[in-house]
Amino acid sequence: MSNSAIVLVGRVLLSVMFIMAGLSKLGDVAGTAAYFGSVGLPMPGILVWLVGIFEVVAGLAVLVGLMTAPAAYLLALFCLASGFAAHMDFSDQTEMILFMKNVAIAGGFLVLAANGPGSISIDARRGG
């Protein structure tokens, strides 16, 4: 498999989780808002919409390789912020694993941002 194809597969694997998570949030605004409120996030009803739309749009940008570096940097920051906001109870093994998952995914996005989306991307076709 070529490097370009491997980078494409990596982009798909990184993005699909955010696209699906965003759609899930937008499909259950009340339930997600209740969860956001339970972890102490402010304005959960509004935040659900902002986070859901962000995850879908940024996830799609990474998927197709459009404005890949900015989207990857923002998603890396989002992973770290959401890890610190929602998964800091290290007395709970599951929460610690979720926090470390967020850290690892942030690392993947930073590698993507630094190395680019590969030749199978809109950015490459546009010369960016």
The percentage of the chain sitting over the pLDDT mark of 70, rounded to a whole number, equals 99
The pLDDT value recorded for residue 126 is: 93
Which pTM does this prediction carry? 0.94
Q: Tokens 């690392």 label which residue? A: 107
Average of per-residue pLDDT across 57-64: 98
**Segment 21-49, tens digit of pLDDT:** 999 999 999 999 999 999 899 999 999 99
- pLDDT band for position 127 (50/70/90)? confident
The pLDDT value recorded for residue 91 is: 94
11 has a pLDDT exceeding 90: yes
Residues 13 and 9: their CA atoms lie apart, in Å, by 6
The C-alpha angle with vertex 85 and arms to 7 and 17, in degrees rounded to 5, equals 30
1 has a pLDDT exceeding 90: no
